[in-house]
Chain A
Amino acid sequence: DAGVTQSPTHLIKTRGQQVTLRCSPKSGHDTVSWYQQALGQGPQFIFQYYEEEERQRGNFPDRFSGHQFPNYSSELNVNALLLGDSALYLCASSPYGTGAYEQYFGPGTRLTVT
């Protein structure tokens, strides 16, 4: 049984560019959350998608947007990249009905903005 998968593993972008990160949830899971983990910090909640809608959003600017597809996979898009967007981006999936209390994390995408 495959766990949560994310692509790409690493990414280097230039300030001002746009980036798309991808996540496939664990089999049987229909909810996807995205977190940003800056170096030396705990993960910060960006948003959660359920039934292809953004269900909850953290304190992140509109430059951060997302999408969920009918197969429950998800994308995180970041526009107009800033140096401060350099971080590990983690995707977590949850099975139906469990909300936040059963989140399984993927290995993350390491984004470096130069």
Chain B
Amino acid sequence: AQSVTQLGSHVSVSEGALVLLRCNYSSSVPPYLFWYVQYPNQGLQLLLKYTSAATLVKGINGFEAEFKKSETSFHLTKPSAHMSDAAEYFCAVSFSGGSNYKLTFGKGTLLTVNP
């Protein structure tokens, strides 16, 4: 079975500050991991993905995430927050092989950026 836990349903940062959104996963086989962003009244946009290549993954809009197998974590970071980063962020897990094709999502973290 696979699951995702996002620590902190709401994170608030100041503009220009470091953004750190936490994600821990549980998977019995090597996972694929994803971060999606959702702006109000919109669908999900893929920020970045880990599919067993480099453990440090760079995505769009200056975001990056590091896969740490020993900690079963895939935290999302951005060095300097912009007002436009305010949105809901979802971590998701899947894995290759077998007959599993679904993404399992965490409950999301709402990021607020203060001026």
- A43-B90, A105-B44, A107-B43 are known contacts. Are A100 and B107 too (CB-CB below 8 A)? no
**Cβ of A108 under 8 Å from chain B:** yes
Q: Are B101 and A56 closer than 8 Å at their CB atoms?
A: yes
CB pair A41–B107 under 8 Å, yes or no, is yes
List residues of chain A with CB within 8 A of the CB of B46: 103-105
B102 touches A42 (CB 8 A): no
For the complex, count residues of B whose C-beta is within 8 A of A.
Answer: 26
Of B44, B95, B99, chain A has the most CB atoms within 10 Å of the CB of B44
Closest partner residue, chain A, to B31 (CB atom): A101
Evaluate whether A100 and B43 lie within 8 angstroms (CB atoms) in the complex, with A41-B108, A42-B90 already known.
Answer: no
**A58 located at the interface, meaning its Cβ lies under 8 Å from any Cβ of chain B in the complex:** yes
B94 near A105: Cβ-Cβ < 8 Å: no
Complex-state Cα separation, A48 to B34, whole angstroms: 18
B103 close to chain A: CB less than 8 A: yes
A45 near B104: Cβ-Cβ < 8 Å: yes
